[in-house]
Amino acid sequence: MDTITKANELNYFFWSMICGVAMTIVYDFLRARRREKKQVGLFIYIEDIVWFCVLGVLVYLLAFRQNAGMIRWYSFFGIGLGALIYKLLLGDKLMNVFRKCYSYFVRAFCFLIKIIMWPVRFIAALIKRPIGVVVWHSRTGSRQLSDMMKVSKQRLRNRMRYKARKTNSSEEDE
């Protein structure tokens, strides 16, 4: 087990502040994305819960790595102080940068998807005409087959009626 000294505790406090700054930056990026694209309230709640769970895991890992697994009250104070310093110095200024970064990221992602989907669209365009011809012929063929079935069904009914009349008329003659 590591011995806890004042230098270790000061180092732990410093890393707690960095953790607070990092998590506030991540949350500001989430806020910028929310301002850029409107979202459903439930999704925002789930996103906040996930962010808070990640923060909890980060605090646990920080305490485990830097302070022999002991979580101290000043670690939470360091996280809060780091977040406050970030908000006072850079918070609002970086929000616009994050919004622009998000919009560029979305554009780049859409462009990448278009590049990836280009061969699929090309192949679909090549196959579209032959498949359309087959579908058209199958529609007309099925329509013709249906018409032939209706006619043959009607002929069969007419023959049965004719035979029934013939048998009825021959029975009456007797």
The per-residue pLDDT string of the chain (174 residues; one tens digit each, 9 = 90 and over) reads 456 677 777 887 888 888 888 888 888 888 888 877 777 778 888 888 888 888 888 878 877 776 666 777 777 888 889 989 988 888 777 877 888 888 888 889 889 988 988 888 888 777 777 776 666 666 666 676 677 777 777 887 888 887 777 776 666 665
Q: Which helix (H) or strand (E) holds 71?
A: none
Q: Residue 39 corresponds to which amino acid?
A: Q
The whole-number pLDDT of residue 69 equals 67
Neighbour-count burial for 22-49, b at 16+ CB within 10 Å, e otherwise: bbbbebbbbebbeeeeeeeeeeeeeeee
Please name which of 147, 128, 129 lies closest in space to residue 139, comparing C-alpha atoms: 147
Residue with tokens 């409107």: 38
The helix/strand count (H/E) of the chain reads as 4, 0
Considering the entire predicted model, what is its pTM?
Answer: 0.55
25 and 94 Cβ atoms separated by less than 8 Å = yes
Tokens standing for residue 89: 């110095």
Q: How far apart are CA 161 and CA 172, in angstroms?
A: 16
Residue with tokens 């962010």: 51
Q: How far apart are CA 38 and CA 12, in angstroms?
A: 38
